[in-house]
Amino acid sequence: MSQSVYNVQGREQDLCLGESLAATKQVGIVGGGVNGICTAIACARAGHQVTCFERGEPFAETSSRSSRMLHGGIRYLEHGHFGLVREALIERDEWLTRSPEYTRVERFFFPIYDDSPRGKWLLTAGTKLYQWLAGRYSVGPSSLHSRAEALELNPALNPDGLKGAVSYCDVVMDDQGVASDLLTEAQQLGVSIKTQTQVRAVTESGNIELESGESEAFDTIVNAAGPWASQVLNASNLTSNYEIAYVQGSHLMLDLVLENPLVFQSNADQRIIFAIPFSDETLLGTTEAMIDIEQPIECSQEEEDYLLTIASGQLSPRVGPLKVHSRFAGVRPIYKHKSEHPKNMSKASRDSVIEQRGKLISVFGGKWTSASHLGDKVCGLV
């Protein structure tokens, strides 16, 4: 996945990975989500001494609220983000090797109905392009299925108006399992993870001030506080070249057993949502709702209704009313440079940006899939 790296003047810098190996540095990381921990691992591997400050528990915020896919992001193809998708497909492959026990390849089915916004030719072209972009990192071919075959492979589908299906392969993870692999690796590399430790402020000269009043000096600070990265800067009276918009995404866990992951198209807004089986449950999501980061992050009734309406229309009445076992929400920090025009947040890239000011490096945005490469790139700046 591509990251842009800007110094305070906004000039793109060359990333020379490994050049920072010359001397051991003290690195302080704010945030123990996937971006913070992957950065900690990369820095510790490069020989630096790393302390990670997490106000709660590691992987307890956004990194435990994802759709649990390690993917290129098939829907980003429609917005023309081909380079981004290609890079993420390569990163996807690395997770299969890194965490084989907690990752698996699945075949995702797009059912196609009489009134579906995208038909079989468009979906076939899109899934073939996705497979082609993966190149030698492809995890399986895409396929076109007749109505009969679609129903045989996915008996939970609503047969009324079903014309067939298009399928493609992607990777699904047990996010808690991958997180535990990463935490073990970080600990083995000597990373000190201070949990229940809130950072009050950071400085561009390398100081971290804790809520407890203590203060520690570092050669480099990495602000990897996820959706709260701007809050950390604000609390420190620091500015940034980036403005952040907060887009909530909610998921439902359903008491539903599916044979394969399904990708439902919404007739109302043309979005796609995923229904992914995890043992005897199904993860259904996600939504996009602009929110204020100061408000509680929770799935609204409107979001729940939205998801259930789309899914129940494309599932067989034989499945019965969908039962919601639990619900959760997370926030995507979508950034834009202050000089850019406003973005359509649904079409905005899920890319990340790294901003460096003095001894402080801030990370905005990103994906689970891209976190390891992001960590390497941040490490190259230490």
369 contacts ligand FAD (rule: CB under 6 A): yes
Going from the C-alpha of 211 to that of each of 130, 131, 238, 381, the distances in angstroms are 46, 48, 18, 27
Backbone φ and ψ of 201, nearest 5° = -155, 160
Residues 312-341 that bind ligand FAD (CB under 6 A): 330-332
The one segment of 24-32, 137-145, 158-166, 253-261 that binds ligand FAD by CB under 6 A: 24-32
CB of 283 to ligand FAD, least distance (A): 10
Of 30 and 150, CB closest to ligand FAD: 30
Q: Could you give the 3-state DSSP secondary structure of residue 22?
A: helix
233: how many CB neighbours lie within 10 A of its CB? 22
Contact residue for ligand FAD among 5, 27, 34, 165 (CB under 6 A): 34
The letter for the amino acid at 249 is: G
Residues 225-264 that bind ligand FAD (CB under 6 A): 225-228, 232, 249
The one segment of 8-16, 127-135, 183-191, 361-369 that binds ligand FAD by CB under 6 A: 361-369
Of 156 and 334, CB closest to ligand FAD: 334
Alpha helices in 34-136 (DSSP H): 34-45, 82-98, 120-134
Backbone φ and ψ of 115, nearest 5° = -105, 20
As a residue count, the chain comes to 382
Contact residue for ligand FAD among 40, 41, 43, 61 (CB under 6 A): 61
Contact residue for ligand FAD among 43, 48, 50, 55 (CB under 6 A): 55
- Specify whether the CB–CB gap between 117 and 267 falls below 8 A: yes
305: how many CB neighbours lie within 10 A of its CB? 10
Contact residue for ligand FAD among 28, 31, 164, 277 (CB under 6 A): 31
Of 112 and 182, CB closest to ligand FAD: 182
Residue in 224, 195, 258 with CA at minimum distance from that of residue 55: 195
Of 7 and 231, CB closest to ligand FAD: 231
Of 206 and 226, CB closest to ligand FAD: 226
Contact residue for ligand FAD among 25, 29, 50, 66 (CB under 6 A): 66
Of 228 and 264, CB closest to ligand FAD: 228
Extract the runs of DSSP E, i.e. beta strands, from the chain: 3-7, 26-30, 49-53, 69-70, 103-113, 143-146, 162-173, 192-194, 199-202, 207-210, 215-217, 220-223, 242-254, 262-265, 272-278, 281-285, 289-291, 324-337, 352-357, 360-365
Going from the C-alpha of 305 to that of each of 225, 247, 343, 345, the distances in angstroms are 31, 18, 27, 21
The letter for the amino acid at 381 is: L
357, two tokens: 């000011």
Distance CA 309, CA 266 (A): 9
174, two tokens: 């047990």
Residue, CB closest to ligand FAD: 33
Residue in 309, 268, 346 with CA at minimum distance from that of residue 76: 346
348 contacts ligand FAD (rule: CB under 6 A): no
Contact residue for ligand FAD among 3, 67, 116, 236 (CB under 6 A): 67
56 contacts ligand FAD (rule: CB under 6 A): yes
201 contacts ligand FAD (rule: CB under 6 A): no
Of 168 and 368, CB closest to ligand FAD: 368
The pattern of x and - marking residues 202 through 231 that bind ligand FAD according to CB under 6 A reads: ----------------------xxxxx---
The one segment of 32-40, 295-303, 313-321, 341-349 that binds ligand FAD by CB under 6 A: 32-40
CB of 286 to ligand FAD, least distance (A): 4
Of 64 and 158, CB closest to ligand FAD: 64
Contact residue for ligand FAD among 48, 65, 81, 327 (CB under 6 A): 65
Backbone φ and ψ of 335, nearest 5° = -100, 155
Query: Which residues contribute to the site for ligand FAD (CB under 6 A)?
Result: 30-36, 53-56, 60-63, 65-69, 71, 198-199, 224-228, 232, 249, 286, 330-332, 366-369
